[in-house]
């Protein structure tokens, strides 16, 4: 249930609705909108009676929510969510380019790549300090040292940084250094991590689980929002299929589907979808033509020496070309159809 208040509703009238909701043993979650406040009813065990609200002063209407996800849904909030990261706005009307290496390997590597991607037009820098690797013998990331290098990238280039958090224990540390905290595909249904992300003061970039349906992915976002953090950026990064020509299969249909279902921004990671460099540029062009709000791309100045994901990392010159092409496509296709 969503209680939509009049544009002129007073703070007392909103408070009164909150009390009625709490009186039913439910949680009230006020959601500020463009010109009015709506109040989501959460934690209800069964259907809530709209009659409880319709006669109250300041209430415009009480709308039942038909989706399992509520805060994430356009039924709850019709306008697109815009997320501010420093001077960068992520969401409808903007094309945000996030680029950098898979992993932070050392300071020279990070600063060299950051210099290239900034010059090409990237808005945010990415790089893992804690790496989820399939093999325990592979490079696991530099940990806190990697986070400190990311902070130096931000200082030197003015680029906000995105980096992955792998577990609850290191959340405080990662959130201290990161401008955007990433939750990777393998952790999309790590519910205690999602709850902690929901308490974070940082925006969360939530990757789609490699075997997750769109509903499961949106429910994962709901976990974060239900704890009070409404700054969630969804990231499509490919799902497991039977093919051998790429690491995963980029599900670009997720972009229009998510945009219809949810007000949250959605970006696309073609690098982890493809797993190989030669597919990254065409997939990036397609993602922008499909009206994704941004791209997250792996770039390395010496991919043959990269400690992780070298095969899918673009050379800096390839990233230059990508930026030029996707910005041109965005000019033509960037205007979204109204929902
Ligand atoms: C990454 O972006 O570094 C990463 C590990 O991605 P994913 O979780 O999508 O595999
Ligand atoms: Mn990677």
**DSSP assignment of 285-330:** HHHHHTT-SEEEEEB-SSGGG-SS-GGGPBPHHHHHHHHHHHHHHH
The candidate with the shortest Cα–Cα distance to 146, out of 168, 162, 167, is: 162
Tens digit of pLDDT for each residue in 259-275? 999 999 999 999 999 99
Spatial distance between the Cα atoms of 48 and 192, rounded to a whole number of angstroms: 28
Query: By percentage, how much of the chain surpasses pLDDT 90?
Result: 92
So what's the pLDDT on residue 90? 98
3-state secondary structure of 219: helix
pLDDT at position 335 over 80: no
128 lines ligand 1 (CB under 6 A): yes
Cα–Cα distances (Å) from 233 to 116, 243, 257, in that order, read 25, 28, 15
The alpha carbon of 256 and the centre of ligand 1 are apart by a number of angstroms equal to 22
Using an 8 Å Cβ cutoff, are 64 and 88 in contact?
no
* pLDDT band at residue 34 using 50, 70 and 90 as cut-offs: confident
The more confidently predicted of residues 155 and 335 is: 155
Tell me if 72 sits within 8 A of 264, measured CB to CB.
yes
Q: What is the mean pLDDT of residues 286-299?
A: 98
pTM of the complete model? 0.93
**How far is ligand 2, taken at its centre, from the CA of residue 87, in Å?**
26
Half-sphere exposure of 158 (CA within 13 A, CB side): 5
DSSP state, residue 239: B
d(CA 139, CA 309): 11
Q: What is the 8-class DSSP label of residue 335?
A: S
The residue whose CA has the least distance to atom 3 of ligand 1 is 102
pLDDT at 152: 98
Considering every ligand atom shown, identify the ligand nearest to the alpha carbon of residue 132 and give its number.
1
As a whole number, mean pLDDT of residues 243-255 equals 97
Q: How far apart are CA 176 and CA 109, in angstroms?
A: 22
Residue of minimum CA distance from atom 4 in ligand 1 = 184
Residue 43 pLDDT level (bands cut at 50, 70, 90): confident
Whether 193 shows a pLDDT value over 80: the answer reads yes
Assess whether pLDDT exceeds 60 at residue 339.
Answer: no
The whole-angstrom distance between residue 82's C-alpha and the CA centroid of its chain comes to 11
**Cβ-count burial 32-64 (b if 16+ within 10 Å, e if not):** eeeeebbbbbbeeeeebeeebbeeeebbbebee
Question: Mean pLDDT, the chain, as a whole number?
Answer: 96
Ligand 1: does its nearest atom lie under 6 Å from the Cβ of 185?
yes
Cβ(132) to ligand 1 under 6 A?
Answer: yes
Q: How confident is the model at residue 337 (pLDDT cuts 50, 70, 90)?
A: low
At residue 47, the pLDDT reads 82
Read off the pLDDT of residues 321-331 as tens digits, 9 standing for 90 and up.
999 999 999 99
pLDDT recorded at residue 289: 97
- Determine the pLDDT at residue 162: 98
Task: Report CA dihedral (55, 60, 66, 71) to the nearest 10 degrees.
Answer: -120
Q: What's the whole-number mean pLDDT along residues 244-259?
A: 98
Token pair 């259907």 is found at: 47
Q: Which regions of the chain does DSSP assign to beta strands (E)? A: 2-5, 27-32, 37-42, 59-63, 83-85, 88-90, 96-100, 124-126, 161-164, 180-183, 204-207, 232-236, 266-268, 294-298
pLDDT of residue 32: 81
- Of 55-59, 61-65, 178-182, give the lowest mean pLDDT range: 61-65
Shortest-distance atom of ligand 1 to CA 296: 2
Q: Which has the higher per-residue pLDDT, 54 or 118? A: 118
What is the enclosing helix (H) or strand (E) of 22?
helix 11-23
pLDDT by residue (tens digit) across 72-117? 999 999 999 999 999 999 999 999 999 999 999 999 999 999 999 9
Q: Of all residues in the chain, what percent carry a pLDDT higher than 70?
A: 99
- Token readout for 221 is 């976002």
Can you give the C-alpha Rg of the chain in angstroms? 21
Question: 196-240, pLDDT tens digit by residue?
Answer: 999 999 999 999 999 999 999 999 999 999 999 999 999 999 999
Q: SS3 of 232, please?
A: strand
User: Which atom of ligand 1 is nearest the CA belonging to 132?
Assistant: 5
Long-range pairs, 132-135, Cβ under 8 A, ≥24? 132/164, 132/166, 132/184, 132/186, 132/187, 133/308
What pLDDT score does 66 carry? 80
Confirm or reject: Cβ of 207 under 6 Å from ligand 1.
Answer: yes
């Amino acid at each position: 249930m969503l209680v939509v208040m009049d544009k002129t509703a007073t703070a007392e009238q909103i408070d009164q609705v909150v009390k009625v909701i709490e009186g039913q043993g439910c949680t009230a979650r006020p959601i500020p909108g463009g010109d009015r406040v709506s109040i989501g009813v959460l934690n209800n065990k069964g259907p809530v009676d709209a009659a409880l609200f319709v006669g109250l002063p300041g209430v415009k209407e009480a709308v039942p929510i038909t989706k399992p996800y509520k805060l994430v849904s356009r039924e709850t909030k019709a306008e697109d969510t815009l997320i501010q990261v420093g001077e960068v706005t992520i969401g409808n009307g903007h094309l945000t380019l996030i680029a950098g290496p898979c992993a932070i390997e050392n300071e020279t590597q990070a600063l060299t790549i950051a210099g290239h991607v900034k010059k090409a037009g990237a808005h945010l820098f990415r790089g893992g300090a804690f790496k989820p690797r399939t093999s325990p013998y592979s490079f696991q990331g530099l940990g806190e040292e990697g986070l400190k290098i990311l902070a130096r990238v931000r200082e030197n280039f003015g680029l906000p940084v995105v980096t992955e958090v792998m577990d609850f224990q290191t959340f405080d540390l990662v959130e201290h250094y990161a401008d955007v905290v990433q939750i990777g595909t393998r952790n999309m249904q790590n519910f205690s991590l999602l709850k902690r992300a929901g308490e974070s003061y940082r925006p969360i970039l939530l990757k789609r689980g490699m075997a997750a349906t769109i509903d499961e992915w949106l429910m994962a976002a709901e976990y974060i929002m239900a704890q009070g953090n409404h700054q969630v950026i969804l990231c499509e990064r490919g799902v497991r299929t039977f093919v051998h020509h790429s690491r995963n299969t980029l599900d670009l249909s997720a972009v229009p589907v998510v945009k219809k279902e949810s007000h949250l921004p959605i970006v696309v990671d073609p690098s982890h979808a493809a797993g190989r460099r030669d597919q990254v540029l065409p997939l990036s062009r397609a993602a922008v033509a499909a009206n994704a709000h941004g791209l997250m791309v792996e770039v390395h100045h010496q991919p043959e020496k990269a400690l992780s994901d070298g095969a899918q990392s673009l050379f800096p010159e390839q990233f230059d070309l990508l930026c030029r092409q996707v910005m041109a496509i965005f000019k033509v296709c960037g205007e979204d159809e109204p929902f």
